[in-house]
Structure 1
Amino acid sequence: MANEHSTPIDPASRRFAALRGAERLLSGPRPRSVAERLAELSGEAGHAAYDLDGRPDVYCDGIVAALEQSVAGLLGMEAAAFFPTGTMAQQVALRCWTERTGNPLVAMHPLAHPEVHERHAYAQLSGLRSVWPTQEPRLPNADEVEGCAEPFGTLMLELPLRDAGFVLPSWEELTDAVAAARERDAVVHFDGARLWETTAHFGRTLPEIADLADSVYVSFYKTLGGVSGAAVAGPAEFVAQAKAWRHRYGGQLWQQWPAALAALIGLEQELPRLDAYVAHAKVVAKALAAVPGSRVHPGVPQTHQFQYWLPYAADALNETTLRQAEETRQALFSGWRAAPVPGHSFTEITVAAPALEWSPEEIEDALGQFLKMLR
């Protein structure tokens, strides 16, 4: 119990210690310290991903160029450009297409990442405007793209649409929406921050999915466990243009080898495991949904991530999550937020390697314990 002379515990530090100290985690990878991340980069995984005896990169050559070539190959694109952040990558991609089409209007979803999480950088930095073909909690369909009232030059589709619950269209719906954009002489850009885990749902390879778009953005830390960074892939001429804007936006750093090496490790180790994560997400979701009053969204996860809703306040759920981790060394959840429905909160479940160890019965037992502690 803290007294008047004790130092308050930083909430982020408490969460890190609780989850890192847990023997079993259901959602997300185990948090790692700075020392652990350095050991990973310099250890066996790093040596398997890249020649660590070579020189560091200088202004995006060396290991960064190798990563770019690897990503282009994985997506079946002519070229790729590395960016230190996804926000920068998205803005550059949209800006480049605007320069080529002469049209500053971008069709996107109101829950798309540039609308919700990037402080409207596309408008503030590049003078672009957005139009919403639909406000439904899903990606726009072909009829909505075709019937959009304004003549957009670029259609941006986020695959999956994270803030709607990591939802995806069917393959037919996706191809029809892309075709509708082409009929309007628009280019198509995929916000594929989490594109890596969509192959099981679509039943297609990464090159087949990427081939639908004129350009694709991918992230290296959201699914692959990297330190940071992203890439934009597309035609060689377009990528050369993107690299010019990368320099102008301050993204051509002197050295970025830690982020590039972590990305290569993720492509080497995590990418082959994603189908197993996606399959087990369905098992995890079914076990969690057994609680009366709970909600899994979508009902059957389409990737290895989904939303889980409970009818309790977020503060109480967050405190119980940490208490369970600290007292039992089992952690089911990460952070909780208030849901749009009054009296409910939700968390995002990420099924990664630690979750594969959990059986449905073990999940139900731990969840029962969680709810008992909560009440």
Structure 2
Amino acid sequence: MAEEMEIDPQQRRYEALRGSGRLLSGTRPRSLRESIDSLAGGSHELGGRTDVYGDGVVEVLEERVAGLLGTEAAAFFPTGTMAQQVALRCWAGRTGDRTVAMHPLAHPEVHERFAYAQLSGLRSVWPTTERRMPDAEEVADFAEPFGTLMLELPLRDAGFLLPTWTELEATVEAARARDAVVHLDGARIWETTPHFDRSLPEIAGLADSVYVSFYKTLGGISGAALAGPAEFVAEARTWRHRYGGQLYQQWPAALSALAGIERELPRLGEYVAHAKVVAAALAEAVAEVPGARVFPEPPHTHQFQLWLPYPAETLVEAGLRMAEETGQALFGGWREPGLPGISYTEVTVQAPALEWSPQEVRSGVAALLERLK
């Protein structure tokens, strides 16, 4: 008797979300055809030639990013990991100090396999281990010297947390007083403007360099940019080539990034505002569940965490069955950060979530909790 074929979990999730009429977190996944068609949906002229080693539409994107951030220049990178490593390496060479102050939950510490140390010989120090950005006093009084302070805005793995504008200014000033440069991991800097009540150039202007992502928040295929002074960006381009980032053609990623800037960037304020509505409704829905919580409440951006006292595998299965059977998809993946039976998911409020009223959010969560009993 032929063995029953196992269903690929990724394919099952793809089909469940594609088949759902309503999504609370994230967006409906596109098919290959839809992804290809979306590249032609922006305003960029498609009658010209494709890019070659970073000219053409890639240059258009770089100029657009520099204009949005108010920097002298910007360079496109195929990945954010490469952009971050190049930025830190360049600043280490310019300051003569290979020590980088960052948070233990920062992206290079958690998600990049310590590439800054393995590839560039850099070392990190932690001004704080609290689940927040280091404050001015911690930076000023830190016992060891460092050449670069890297700040992740928002601090994703701590719950997409942001300081106040006053706190951010003070922390940057404390680094300057130590003759350190400041680099912003701004993968998601796009959605920080409502919280800070400042423009992108004002936020980016606090730092010496900024990295931004095109697939996080903006919904691009892939890619990132490193922005800052023209001389610094020129050096970064040299290291990009050495790291293998000088691709022959990158027009699909560049076109999707430009489309994301056009479509998503103007809507982020609306997403951030509705995230507060969704978070409040979720908090009400899980108020009677021991150990459940929304964090932070209210959210600082359009993303936040929801914690529930169930194993991740149980929550994933219940959510998939609900999507398959009712056409309502609430959340994406779940993670167990260390304590068995306690899991969290990252809620991302985008266009599909705008259709959900607080009552509908509460009803949807009630239906999910019922399946968990």
Equivalent residue number for residue 95 of structure 1: 89
Q: Match for residue 330 of structure 1?
A: 328
Tell me how far 1:355 sits from its aligned partner: 0.2
Out of 123, 128, 152, the position equivalent to 2:122 is 128
**Is the aligned partner of 1:252 residue 2:250?**
no
Partner of 2:37: 39
Relative to 1, partners in 2 of residues 1:35 and 1:137: Cα closer, same or farther, differing over 3 Å?
A: same
What secondary structure, in the 3-state scheme, does the structure 2 residue paired with 1:55 have? Answer: coil
Q: 2:56 aligns with which of 62, 74, 80?
A: 62
CA distance in 2, matches of 1:344, 1:7: 31
Aligned equivalents of 1:339, 1:288: Cα separation in 2: 21
Residue correspondences, number: 369
Alignment of 1:238-317 (within 5 A): 238-290=232-284, 291=286, 292-293=288-289, 294-317=292-315
Pick one of 141, 147, 150 that aligns with 2:141: 147
What amino acid sits opposite 2:65 in the alignment? V
Q: Percent identity?
A: 70
Q: Tell me whether 1:17 sits opposite 2:42 in the alignment.
A: no
Shift of 1:7: 1.6
Question: What do you get for the CA RMSD once the two structures are aligned?
Answer: 0.9
Dislocated runs of 4+, deviation >2 Å: 3-6, 339-343
Deviation of 1:344 (Å): 1.4
Q: Which SS does the other structure have where 1:133 is aligned?
A: coil
CA shift for structure 1 position 343:
2.8
Which amino acid in 2 is paired with 1:41? L
Secondary structure at 2:211's aligned position in 1? strand
Residue identity matched to 2:318: T
Q: Which residue of 1 aligns with 2:76?
A: 82
| Superposition deviation, residue 313 in structure 1 | 1.1
Letter in 2 for 1:101: T
Aligned to 1:53: 47
What is the distance in 2 between the residues matched to 1:201 and 1:169? Answer: 9
Structure 2 distance, partners of 1:172, 1:23, is 42
Give the C-alpha shift of residue 167 in structure 1: 0.2
TM-score (ref. length: structure 1): 0.97
* Partner residue of 1:160 out of 154, 157, 161: 154
How far did 1:340 drift?
A: 4.1
Could you tell me which amino acid in structure 2 is paired with residue 366 of structure 1?
G
Cα deviation digits, residues 257-289 of structure 1 (max 9, x gap): 000000000000100000000000000001111
- Tell me by how many angstroms 1:148 deviates: 1.0
Q: CA deviation at 1:4?
A: 5.0
Distance of 1:148 and 1:229 partners within structure 2: 34
| Partner secondary structure for residue 368 of structure 1 | helix
Secondary structure at 2:335 match in 1: strand
TM-score by length of 2: 0.98
Write the distance in 2 (CA, Å) between the matches of 1:114 and 1:66.
Answer: 28
Report what 1:104 is aligned to.
98
- AA in 2 matched with 1:214: D
Query: Which region of structure 1 is more displaced relative to structure 2, 4-13 or 157-166?
Result: 4-13
Per-residue Cα deviation, 1:160-180 (whole angstroms, up to 9, x for no partner): 000000000000000000000
Of 185, 192, 206, the residue aligned with 1:191 is: 185
What's the counterpart of residue 352 of structure 1? 350
Q: Which of 164, 171, 174 in structure 1 is aligned with 2:165? A: 171
**Alignment equivalent of 2:317, drawn from 307, 316, 319:** 319
Contact 2:76–2:224 under 8 Å retained in 1: yes
Cα offset, 1:5, TM superposition: 3.1
Q: What's 2:223 paired with? A: 229
**Aligned partner of residue 65 in structure 1, secondary structure:** helix
Q: Deviations over 1:272-322 (max 9, x none)?
A: 000000000000001111122320011210000000001111111000010
Maintained 8 Å contact 2:312/2:341: no
For structure 1, the 5+ residue unaligned runs are: none
Which amino acid in the other structure matches residue 142 of structure 1? A
1:221-277 residue CA offsets vs partner (Å, 9 max, x unmatched): 010000000000000000000000001111010000000000000000100000000
Give yes or no for the alignment of 1:371 onto 2:369. Answer: yes
Partner SS for 1:289? helix
For 1:40, give the aligned amino acid: S
Query: Which amino acid letter does the alignment assign opposite residue 232 of structure 1?
Result: L
| 2:311–2:340 CA contact under 8 A, matched in 1 | no
Out of 208-217 and 12-21, give the one that drifted further: 12-21
Q: Distance in 1 between matches of 2:194 and 2:339?
A: 31
Partner SS, residue 46 of structure 2: coil
2:314, 2:200 → 1: CA distance?
41
For structure 2, the residue ranges without an aligned partner over 5 or more in a row are none
Matched AA of 2:35 = R
